[in-house]
Chain A
Amino acid sequence: MPKVKVKRKGVALDMTAMCDVAFLLLTFFILTTKFKPNEPLTVDTPTSISTTKVPESDIMLISIGNDGRIFFGIDGQYDRITMLDRIAKEKGITFSDKQKKAFSLMDSFGCPINQLPGFLNLDGPDMQRFEQKGIPCDSLTNELYTWVLNARYTNPKIRIAIKGDRKADYKIVKNIIATLQDQNINRFNLVTGMEGRPTVEAPTAPI
């Protein structure tokens, strides 16, 4: 029995619609994406059930690494330069325009003030390789106090967030909180990851 052979033709698909969708999505993702800033310190935050979002602007971020190093950063390139100028004046250091520019581009840094000019002179790759020791924050030298104070002078509306690694010692956190409390800051945010709320009945008031 002869089989009728149907010659298969390549089906021409109209790709236009698909292409439209693809590029629509592409545009969406390009516009919404915000690249992860190159963090010199990796922080693995603990999780909490809190659903408050970290504010995007007017924020000061104090990061604690699992090795106890403290990094500091504020948002706004202009504010960063103003803050650096204040520090320079206070400490009697002068920064060149190139150094200021380099500083304004850093999201966070963890370099003691005396190493800062040298650090800012480095070029891109060298800067990333540079091992930052963390900002000193103990009873002997508390540079974090100076940074926080000047950041607040620069931007009085600034809010404070502490982003700690889950393995960071409480001792470091305690020192940071004490530093903030010395400036009469009693409200701040702890940055955490997301976690589902367990189904627990919080005790309700008896009537």
Chain B
Amino acid sequence: MADMGEGGGGHDDKKGKKKKKGSPRVDMTPMVDLGFLLITFFMLTTTMSKPQAMELNMPDKTEKPDETQKIKESHSLTVILGEDDKIYWFQGLAKDATIGDNGGITDYSSTGIRKVILDKTKEVGYNYEKKLWNLIIVIKAKDESKYKNIVDILDEMAITGSKRYAIVAFTDEDKAVIAKFDGNGSTEAAAPAPTN
């Protein structure tokens, strides 16, 4: 097919000789141009990656109180999501926050809350009977925190492999904790939290 073409009708002015019936050579260039133009268009407009989704399970509201189990207070790590991408954390009860080196203000970086969670997980230890880490993370989000924050903290749960966590309502007690952290935050309590 490739050698069809320019010689096509050139030499057959001799009479009697039959005209060769070849398929005429078509210039494909514009067609290819058009083809690639359309390809480019569709490639750019197409959305190949489907959005991902993370599953969120909330506790049943109608849970009976006698079914809930008590946990050791030192096994709980409360993480409060504040505004401006700040995280306040403390271990145990709210009244123990900021006492000694318990608690601090941190952020969503890999050396921030992730390190806190990993350290605390190891510190609190492992339950051989239940085959679970003892640490229970209580997530409290302030109304002013952003949707991104809650997704990020849930993501941290997945990254650090923490299976036991719960999203709990933000209360006035937590507001007091934030005030406590902000009050002497930068000097004392934030010191043990990684700052790099």
Contact residues of A with B, CB < 8 Å? 12, 14-16, 18-19, 22-23, 25-26, 29-30, 32-36, 45-54, 64, 161, 163-174, 177, 181-182, 184, 186-195, 197-198, 200, 202-203, 205-206
Please name all residues of chain A whose beta carbon is closer than 8 Å to the beta carbon of B141 when the two chains form the complex. Answer: 170, 174
Q: Are B147 and A170 in contact (CB under 8 A)?
A: yes
Assess A46 versus B151: contact at CB under 8 Å? Given A33-B42, A189-B55, A191-B51: yes
Min distance, Cβ B91 to any Cβ of chain A, angstroms: 17
Given contacts A166-B148, A206-B126, 14 further A-B contacts (CB under 8 A): A12-B5, A30-B38, A46-B147, A53-B50, A53-B53, A182-B61, A184-B62, A190-B55, A192-B54, A192-B151, A193-B52, A195-B155, A202-B161, A203-B121
Q: Which of the residues A32, A187, A198, A205 comes within 8 Å of B110, measured between beta carbons?
A: A198
Interface residues of B, dominant DSSP: mixed
B31 within 8 A of A: yes
B114 within 8 A of A: yes
Q: Which chain B residues numbered 124 to 138 have a C-beta less than 8 Å away from chain A?
A: 126, 131, 133
Please name all residues of chain B whose beta carbon is closer than 8 Å to the beta carbon of A32 when the two chains form the complex. Answer: 46
Please name all residues of chain B whose beta carbon is closer than 8 Å to the beta carbon of A186 when the two chains form the complex. Answer: 57-61
Contact residues of B with A, CB < 8 Å? 1-2, 5, 27-29, 31-32, 35-36, 38-39, 42-43, 45-47, 49-62, 81, 110, 114, 118, 121-122, 126, 131, 133, 141-152, 154-155, 158-161
Assess A189 versus B57: contact at CB under 8 Å? Given A15-B32, A36-B47, A205-B131: no
How many A-B residue contacts, CB cutoff 8 Å? Answer: 177
Please name all residues of chain A whose beta carbon is closer than 8 Å to the beta carbon of B32 when the two chains form the complex. Answer: 15, 18-19, 22
- Closest A-chain residue to B2, C-beta based? A14
CA distance A22 to B122 in the complex (A): 57
Min distance, Cβ A26 to any Cβ of chain B, angstroms: 5
Please name all residues of chain A whose beta carbon is closer than 8 Å to the beta carbon of B152 when the two chains form the complex. Answer: 46, 48
Please name all residues of chain A whose beta carbon is closer than 8 Å to the beta carbon of B126 when the two chains form the complex. Answer: 205-206
- Closest A-chain residue to B152, C-beta based? A46
Q: Are B160 and A170 in contact (CB under 8 A)?
A: no
Min distance, Cβ B119 to any Cβ of chain A, angstroms: 10
Please name all residues of chain B whose beta carbon is closer than 8 Å to the beta carbon of A171 when the two chains form the complex. Answer: 143-144
Q: Are A49 and B148 in contact (CB under 8 A)?
A: no
Assess A169 versus B1: contact at CB under 8 Å? Given A18-B32, A187-B56: no
Q: Which of the residues B45, B58, B146 comes within 8 Å of A177, measured between beta carbons?
A: B58
Q: Are A203 and B122 in contact (CB under 8 A)?
A: yes
Min distance, Cβ B116 to any Cβ of chain A, angstroms: 13
Q: Are B51 and A193 in contact (CB under 8 A)?
A: yes
CA distance A33 to B160 in the complex (A): 37
Q: Are B147 and A167 in contact (CB under 8 A)?
A: yes
Assess A187 versus B150: contact at CB under 8 Å? Given A16-B28, A49-B155, A200-B114: no
Q: Are A48 and B146 in contact (CB under 8 A)?
A: no
- Closest A-chain residue to B48, C-beta based? A32
Q: Which of the residues A50, A161, A163, A193 comes within 8 Å of B158, measured between beta carbons?
A: A50
Please name all residues of chain B whose beta carbon is closer than 8 Å to the beta carbon of A36 when the two chains form the complex. Answer: 45, 47
Q: Are A194 and B143 in contact (CB under 8 A)?
A: no
- Closest B-chain residue to A51, C-beta based? B52
CA distance A25 to B32 in the complex (A): 12
Q: Are A168 and B28 in contact (CB under 8 A)?
A: no
3 nearest CB pairs, A to B: A202-B161, A22-B35, A15-B28
Assess A48 versus B114: contact at CB under 8 Å? Given A12-B5, A35-B45, A168-B146: no
